[in-house]
Amino acid sequence: MELTVTEKHELYERSVQNPGSDIDFIYQVFNKLFNRNPKSLREDFGGTGYMACEWVKQNHENTSYVIDLDCEPIEFGKKTHHAALNIEQQSRVKYLESNVLAPLSFDVDVTVAFNFSYFIFKKRSELKEYFQKVYNDLPQGGIFCLDLFGGEDAYELSEEETEHDEHSYFWDCDKFNPLTNECLYHIHFKKHSDGIKHEKVFTYDWRLWSNIELREILEEVGFGSVLSFWEGTDEDGDGDGNFYETISAENCESWVTYLVGVKK
């Protein structure tokens, strides 16, 4: 039996999303840069709009936009995250079924492209077009936040299992072309209640972009400052969830971090 739409999106969010941590990071960076809190957010490739809905809970003045091409996660998000908000909060979240390259312009403090979604752009010219559009749409004093991942494990053809309370999450690197950095990843799930493993619930046909490539393109389209962040480690050498600005880091088997373009 296949997973229902509700099941697959719930499993995905429980496995890989933590919008509270992302929002905390945005607030810290924005406050440090401009000595004020951000009020408006645009979530590109926003899927269910989980983060956008959490955003409006932070402050009664906060507004957000969710942009995604796929109607399925949008409808799930509206029925779950958006429906869980009160009426006043709901009025401050807008869902748009649209391409991020479409002529959409919103006066927002922050635009985000999280969950490595922009990796879908395999050509430099395509990615630069997207970054240019984000830059043009942002006001002065706005920021563009990206997350990215890398490390030796990112290239290794392997399947990694992560145990959760009620399910297992599998990250499967199926293909990697070292000449183009094109890669194919799958997400599988196994619910502990029945032990059935559901293969290829989500598939990602991407190009794995490096930090320096992204920095250079962001600078080319006009961002006056591009900030790289790295995660600190605890006493066991594991990530501690705290990110600090740096221009140098020690390579490790696997890492996930942030990049921030600042429009001055």
pLDDT tens by residue, 7-40:
999 999 999 999 999 999 999 999 999 999 999 9
Same domain membership, residue 247 and residue 229 = yes
Residue 207 three-state SS: strand
pLDDT tens by residue, 167-205:
999 999 999 999 999 999 999 999 999 999 999 999 999
The model's pTM = 0.94
Strands (E), 45-114: 63-68, 93-97, 110-113
Phi, psi of 82 (to 5 degrees): -65, -40
Q: Which of 63, 71, 50, 54 is nearest to 91 (CA)?
A: 63
CATH number at residue 257: 3.40.50.150
Same domain membership, residue 188 and residue 156 = yes
Phi, psi of 103 (to 5 degrees): -75, 75
Q: Taking all residues of the chain, what is their mean pLDDT, rounded to a whole number?
A: 95
pLDDT band of residue 249 (cuts 50, 70, 90) is: confident
Q: Which of 60, 115, 117, 110 is nearest to 85 (CA)?
A: 60
Domain count, the chain: 2
Same domain membership, residue 173 and residue 249 = no
Same domain membership, residue 203 and residue 213 = no
Same domain membership, residue 56 and residue 23 = yes
pLDDT band of residue 109 (cuts 50, 70, 90) is: very high
State the maximum Cα–Cα separation within the chain, in Å, rounded to a whole number.
53
Same domain membership, residue 177 and residue 191 = yes
251/258 Cα distance (integer angstroms)? 15
Determine how many CB atoms are found less than 10 A away from the CB of residue 67.
Answer: 25
CATH number at residue 194: 2.20.25
Q: What is the span of the domain harbouring residue 188?
A: 152-207
Same domain membership, residue 76 and residue 14 = yes
Taking the CA atoms of the chain, what radius of gyration do you get in angstroms?
18
What single letter denotes the amino acid at residue 3?
L
Same domain membership, residue 192 and residue 136 = no
pLDDT tens by residue, 45-73:
999 999 999 999 999 999 999 999 999 99
